[in-house]
A and B are shown apart, each in its own frame.
Chain A
Amino acid sequence: MSLPRVNVVVIGAGAGGGVVAKELSQAGLRVALLERGRWYTANDCRKDDLRNQRTSVLGNNSGPDDERNPRVYLDLDGSRHLVLPSEGAYSNNAACVGGGTLTYGAMAWRYQPKDFRMRTTYGALEGSTLDDWPITYDDLAPFYEKAEYEIGVSGDVSNDPFKGPRAKPLPMPPLPPTHEYEILKPAAQRLGLHPFDIPMLRNSVPYNGRPPCMRCRWCVGFICEVDAKCGTHNTVIPRALATGLCDLRLGCMVKEILTNDQGKVTGVTYFDAHDRLQEQPTDLVVLSGAAVESARLLLNSKSKLFPTGLGNRFDWVGRNLQGHAYSGAIGLFDFDTYDDIGPGANIAICDYNHGNPGLRGGAMLANEFIRLPYQTVNMPPDGVRWGKAHKDFMRKAYRRTIGVMGPTQEMPVFGSRVQLDPIVKDFWGMPVAQLSGYQHPHTLEIAKVMAGRAEAWLKEAGAVQTWLNLPGNGVSGGQHQAGTCRMGNDPKTSVVDSWCRVHEVDNLHVIDASVHVTNGGFNPVLTILANAYRVSAHLAQSWKGKV
């Protein structure tokens, strides 16, 4: 039995899907917004340091559930591991209204113009699918601004000389500085660097009818107790619902995107909150499930016309899985650096995102969010992991360390990928995602240099001991997962076109970080939001042209 027809089904109420639902419902389209998770609010804030999206040793606080959603991870030796959402190799982001924006650290970076032109800037790289985006910074700039103002960004980037052109300042001032900020800022300046206040999707003053940050230590990984973090769950999604045209359905796991003999999408089937199979006819589908699940759903949507999955004629769906190779350094000081004023991260430099001799790209470097005690137990240098030495170090160092880390831009790899696992099925009987792949050696080379730059900054700031944090060579993904449905002009080497339309399917769009060709040396969320605004505007216009 099928449900009354809608104009658009949006799959996933995270960063991308939330914006699309709002823009299209405000444009007059009837929207069904399907979300497999639940809708949490500030009242669900539970400051559990072992059960949250960043430290999930006792589970996730905003999905998905361990019971129903396994994945398979192939390690570098090719051995299979069944992994649950609360385990690291799962590459989890979230499953809830708002997606990752509910619990993120909320850095709100615009990529730099060169981040969209990696192939042109640096040339081809052997063993990598490094390429340009089919769109430029200038195409996204007005939508970056729209995201900054509609969702809400605080900070001050006026002292960042490396940023792309921007028309307006950020809508909110930065939060007042912390002790770490006061230590790191003059040190960066002495090194001739250009430190500034990180842009954050977090209220520093009352904005959008919600209060400002109260500076607690429970930020990244947690639902904000006072609703000061700005995500799609407390901005665009409520506005979408206010149009009366957007139907948000929770607990809905999409099974398949349906197509007809002409290769057009006709609807989706999904398991509703009571695990009943529903069929939803629609004119358009927008897939916003994040890089792993979006690719999985395309691969799971097989038919006579698309025997290997939708958009997968040239075997590009699920390829180029990437995230960020996080690297940096920790510095130990002979005085207290900790002041217990959250969220912690507040000062950054973009001096090393590009222009590093011999390297293709780099990373933004910033101080870390407040690390809760358990998050620091693997911090001691020289492999000290237990015993008296470990305890002594914790006691001595907890209040006296600063971490400077950066998301090193990854060189995309064709062999790092999402596939359907041939054996394991989820609770609903659908093949699960199987993750496999590795880091390109050049990514690790860049990461090492970035860690050295972070270390130099800490030394200049007065650290008496420093040590590096380097990424491993396994495939990344996680909360910054991207790349699996690459945007491009050539259907043979990409999955969607520059309007995020699947090449072979007129009325199917992918709008999330899956479409990122490369993922910048920055946290990707503002780019996801901006691109969602850009494509939504185009979709709304062509819809109006049609009717």
Chain B
Amino acid sequence: MSKQGALSRRRFLQVAATVAASSAVISCGRRAGPWRFFTPAEAHTMEALCDQIIPADQDPGAAWAGTLYYIDSQLVGHFRRLQSAYREGLASFDAACLSANHAAFADLPFDQQTAFLNHLPDSLQPFFHMVISHTMQGFYGDARHNGNRDAVSWRMLGIPVIPIRGRDQYEFPKKG
């Protein structure tokens, strides 16, 4: 529950910061929201999807870790050429979910989301696998990429978070 608390506080801060930022640039016609690529509706679906791929349990899941920030920022960076794959993939994904469940994916109960993903139409498999890869990259990658907040996955795996080992415990052999 404390993680839930952390989540909502963090969310609040993000939203507050974004509102402040977006009011400054609103005259440039930029979309409101913290995202550089996703629309708020897309981000809503994506966060639910990320949390299905790496769910929260005794350790935080992908949404808490901010994995969507990783994907979003890469989509205007190294993944630029995947923009249409995301835009079109999400549209098809949402449509498929609506027609199967008469509800948006993010609004379904967790287990029903899982069931939908387990029976995803073949046409959506490439999209889903792309999202799986990128979610894994964000969550299990170095915290510097903004998808692994507080190095939460590395702590979960039990590896030292400081990325350099050796210097403090290693002595160069003496010559002679």
Known: A57-B137, A340-B165. A391 touches B55 (CB 8 A): yes
Smallest Cβ-Cβ distance to B132: which chain A residue: A386
Specify which chain A residues have a CB less than 8 angstroms from the CB of B159 in the assembled complex: 217, 338, 340, 373, 398-399
A373 contacts which of B135, B154, B170 (Cβ < 8 Å)? Answer: B154
Contact B158 A214 (CB under 8 A): no
CB within 8 Å for A387 and B114 given contacts A49-B142, A212-B172, A342-B165: yes
Nearest-CB residue, chain B, relative to A374? B140
Asked if A12 is at the interface of the complex by the 8 Å CB criterion, the answer is no
Bound Cα distance A205, B137 (Å): 36
Known A217-B165, A386-B54; contact A374-B172, beta-carbon cutoff 8 A: no
Contact residue among B52, B59, B157, B172 (Cβ-Cβ distance under 8 Å from A211):
B172
4 closest residue pairs by CB, A with B: A214-B166, A398-B157, A373-B140, A377-B136
A442 nearest CB across to chain B (Å): 31
Most buried by B among A341, A374, A399: A374
Residues of chain B contacted by A50 (CB below 8 angstroms): 137, 141-142, 145
Quick check: A215 and B166 within 8 Å, CB to CB?
yes
Nearest A residue (CB) for B159: A340
B156 part of interface (Cβ distance < 8 Å): yes
A-side contacts of B78, CB under 8 Å: 57-59, 86
Say whether, besides A214-B167, A398-B158, A48 and B59 are in contact (CB < 8 Å): no
Given contacts A58-B78, A388-B57, contact A47 B164 (CB under 8 A): yes
A359 within 8 A of B: no
Query: Interface size of B by Cβ–Cβ distance < 8 Å?
Result: 38
Residue numbers in B under 8 Å from A377 (CB-CB) = 136, 140
A399 close to B157 (CB less than 8 A): yes
- A211: which B residues are within 8 A, CB to CB? 172
With A391-B54, A399-B158, A399-B159 given, is the CB distance from A214 to B142 under 8 Å? no
CB <8 Å contact, A387 and B157: no
Inter-chain CA distance A103–B21, complex, in Å, is 42
Q: Could you jot down 27 A-B contacts, CB within 8 Å?
A: A47-B142, A47-B163, A49-B142, A50-B141, A50-B142, A58-B74, A59-B78, A206-B175, A212-B172, A212-B173, A214-B165, A215-B170, A216-B165, A342-B165, A373-B141, A374-B136, A374-B137, A377-B140, A385-B132, A386-B52, A386-B132, A387-B53, A390-B54, A391-B59, A394-B156, A395-B157, A399-B158
> How far, in whole Å, are A386 and B135 apart by their CA atoms in the complex?
10
Which chain B residue lies CB-closest to A397?
B157
Contacts A206-B175, A373-B153 given; 12 further ones with Cβ under 8 A?
A48-B142, A50-B145, A57-B133, A59-B78, A212-B173, A216-B164, A217-B159, A386-B52, A386-B54, A387-B53, A388-B55, A399-B157
Query: Does A225 touch B at the CB level, under 8 Å?
Result: yes
**Nearest-CB residue, chain A, relative to B129:** A385
The reply to whether the CB of A218 lies closer than 8 angstroms to some CB of chain B is yes
- Chain A residues with CB under 8 A of B145: 50, 58
Q: Which residues of B contact A216 (CB under 8 A)?
A: 164-166
**A340→B132 CA distance, assembly (Å):** 27
Q: How far is the CA of A57 from the CA of B78 in the complex (A)?
A: 9
- Residue in B closest to A57 when the chains form the complex, CB atoms: B137
Q: How far is the CA of A385 from the CA of B8 in the complex (A)?
A: 29
Q: How far does the Cβ of A397 sit from chain B's closest Cβ, in whole Å?
A: 9
Chain A residue, CB-CB nearest to B56: A391
**CB-based nearest A residue for B144:** A48
The residues in A between 286 and 343 inclusive whose CB is less than 8 angstroms from any CB of B are 338, 340-342
C-alpha spacing A212/B129, complex, angstroms: 42
CB of B160 within 8 A of chain A?
yes
**Complex: chain B residue closest to A377, CB-CB:** B136
Which residues 191-223 of A sit at the B interface, judged by CB distance below 8 A? 205-206, 211-212, 214-218
Give the Cβ gap from A368 to chain B, nearest Cβ, in Å.
Answer: 15
- Contacts A212-B172, A399-B159: A225 and B164 contacting too (C-beta < 8 A)? yes
- Bound-state CA distance A391–B50 (Å) is 12
Q: How far is the CB of B129 from chain A (nearest CB, A)?
A: 8
| A387 to B167 alpha-carbon distance, docked (Å) | 37
Q: How far is the CA of A47 from the CA of B163 in the complex (A)?
A: 8
Give the residues in chain B near A395, CB-CB below 8 Å.
59, 156-157
Q: Which residue of B lies closest to A214 (CB)?
A: B166
- Set of chain A residues within 8 Å of B133, measured between Cβ atoms: 57
A340, A341, A394 interface centre (most CB from chain B within 10 Å) = A394
In the assembled complex, how far is the CB of residue A540 from the closest CB belonging to chain B, in whole angstroms? 34
In the complex formed, the residue of B with least CB distance to A386 is B53
B74 → A minimal CB distance (Å): 7
A373 partner residues in chain B, CB cutoff 8 A:
140-141, 153-154, 157, 159
CB contact list, A375-399 vs B, under 8 A: 376-377, 385-388, 390-391, 394-395, 398-399
Task: Report how far A216 CA is from B129 CA in the complex, Å.
Answer: 32
